[in-house]
Chains A and B, each alone.
Chain A
Amino acid sequence: MKTEISALMDGELFEDETEGLLDRVKRDTAAHKDWEVYHLIGDVLRQPEYIHCDLSAKVRECMRNEPTVLAPRGHAMKRKIRAIALSAAASVSAIGIVAWMSLQVGSEAMPQIAMQQPGARPASAQIQPKSNDYLMAHQEFSPSTDMSGGASYIRTAAYSSDKK
């Protein structure tokens, strides 16, 4: 069924096959879900500014209710609270990803979609110049630099384009 849906979306089915398949998709809720997911994947690959999906809305709402992970350093007590907040945030985003994974059609080639909202950027956007020095210093000694050479330096923030 999945291969047929994929073929249909690529315009590789004959007209009579298409009609039969569309009928089945209408009746079968699982196939309907596959149809939606395949379109979502297509949308993501085309990188539109916004992705319309029920799941993203739900994840976005959860994220909005989460406390900010990074905050200026204060007393030891505050730190402890943040640590708890951090693990809570981590578990919520983990649920988001797992929920998405269960929808995914079981191929590693498909990109993982991190639902993001402009209001609460993930921590990766907040790399400080100071943190970047650690990334550079680590990269020098990482086996990944031995395997792929300088390409692994793309992970350092000096090279990051999402720096504000």
Chain B
Amino acid sequence: MTPTETKGGAAMKMRTVFCGLLLVAAAHTHAGEAHVGLDWLKIVAFAAHQTDYSGVFVYQHDNHFETSRITHVVEEDGEYEKLESLDGPRREIVRHHGQVWCLINHQMVQTDSRQVRSMFPALLPEQLIALGENYHAMQVGTERVAGYNTQVIMFKPRDNYRYVHKMWAHTDSGLLLKAAVMGDKNQMIEQYAFTQLQIGGNIDRSWINDAIRKHEQPAATPRSAKGDTPVNSGWVVGGIPGGFKKTLEIERTLRGRHVPVTQIVYSDGLSAISIFIEPDDEDENDSDGLISRGAVNLYHKAVGKHWITVVGEVPPHTVIQVLDSIRYNGKR
């Protein structure tokens, strides 16, 4: 058997698994639309990690449009993924096992990252339950995207602390072919959509060696081996919107920081809010304020002797409310 045939066989097997999942989804149709929406989410997350694909997509936010190519392949040692810009200056991000390399000044540089990302989606059953409590999930028909048939699923939040999410999932593989985030008045916040896509088959893998293995310097190993330490930081967030559950509380390193940074992550199943707390280094360049890019809002503020940053795929007023409610409760 040639390697290509192996890939083909694997693809067939994957397809069988998806069909199984789809049947499960179909069986639940009578159990209510919400359930179906959540089942689709599981299928989408599974497909994103397990499918080989390569395609071109357009990302749109505010009045910006940008075109990028994304390639995702599953090798024996995990997933490899490359995102490259097709307009403007050359930009590239490569991911493998939770490690991230960025093209900075024409060189691939590894950014600090958590050790090894789990192979399977981090969507936990309790997160799916939380999701059902916070969003009204519904199937809104089928549409064609990039030449493929898709199932359209809509998640409408039950309050205004989060955005509306609309997803177009490939009916065969479950891959997300188009996704839109909208505000409470249905205004577009951001959208990304494939314009051309190859699913499975013979996908170029030559970049894996060029991009990663070549740049994997010995120095990178001890740093990533150090990893992140789970902590009980003693910080409490009184104003976290209902339905956001704490999924992580760690002490980690961030590029260019001399001291560890505390990161607390809350998730409602579709979006996450990260809180970063570090000692205020009185850097004159730091400024309080709000920054947005598409659906992501970031808010910085100095609180006492600390410099706090809140980031999330949630509306600006949510990140501001979260930051203003952070208090130190003392370690127990």
Which A positions have Cβ atoms within 8 angstroms of B?
A: 44, 47, 69-73, 79, 82-83, 86, 90, 97-98, 101, 104, 108, 110-114, 116, 122-124, 126-128, 130-131, 133-138, 140-144, 146-151, 153-162
Contact = CB atoms under 8 A, between A and B. Distances in A.
A158 B45 contact: no
Interface stretch (B5-13, B14-22, B95-103): B95-103
B277 to A, nearest CB: 11
Contact of A124 (B114, B287, B291): B291
B68 to A, nearest CB: 6
B83 A111 contact: no
B313 A141 contact: no
A136 B285 contact: no
B132 interface: no
Interface residues of B, number: 89
B312 interface: yes
A158 B102 contact: yes
A137 B85 contact: no
Interface string B237-275: 000000000011000101110000001010101111010
A147 B100 contact: no
B91 A158 contact: yes
A147 B59 CA distance: 15
Given A101-B187, A142-B271, A153-B93, A131 B122 contact: no
Contact of B188 (A108, A137, A150, A157): A108
B285 A143 contact: no
Interface in B281-299: 283-296, 298
B293 A157 contact: yes
Interface of B: 41, 44-45, 48-49, 57, 59-60, 62-66, 68, 70, 72, 81-83, 85, 87-89, 91, 93, 95, 98, 100, 102, 104, 111-114, 117, 121-123, 127, 166-167, 176, 179-180, 182, 185-190, 192, 247-248, 252, 254-256, 263, 265, 267, 269-272, 274, 276, 283-296, 298, 300, 302, 309, 311-313, 316
A108 B85 contact: no
Nearest to B284: A72
A114 B62 CA distance: 6
If over half of B's interface residues share one DSSP class (helix, strand or loop), that class is named, otherwise mixed; here it is strand
Given A108-B188, A158-B104, A90 B316 contact: yes
Given A135-B296, A144-B271, A150-B72, 10 more contacts: A82-B289, A83-B288, A108-B180, A124-B293, A130-B285, A136-B113, A137-B274, A146-B48, A158-B91, A159-B83
B130 to A, nearest CB: 11
Q: How would you classify the secondary structure of chain A's contact residues: helix, strand, loop or mixed?
A: helix
B63 A153 contact: no
A135 B298 contact: yes
7 contacts: A72-B284, A79-B288, A101-B185, A130-B256, A150-B81, A153-B93, A154-B192
Which of B167, B289, B290, B302 has the largest number of chain A CB atoms within 10 A? Answer: B289
Given A47-B65, A123-B289, A137-B274, A153 B188 contact: no
A113 B284 contact: no
Given A79-B302, A123-B292, A161-B66, A140 B114 contact: yes
Nearest to A98: B185
A137 B70 contact: no
B327 to A, nearest CB: 18
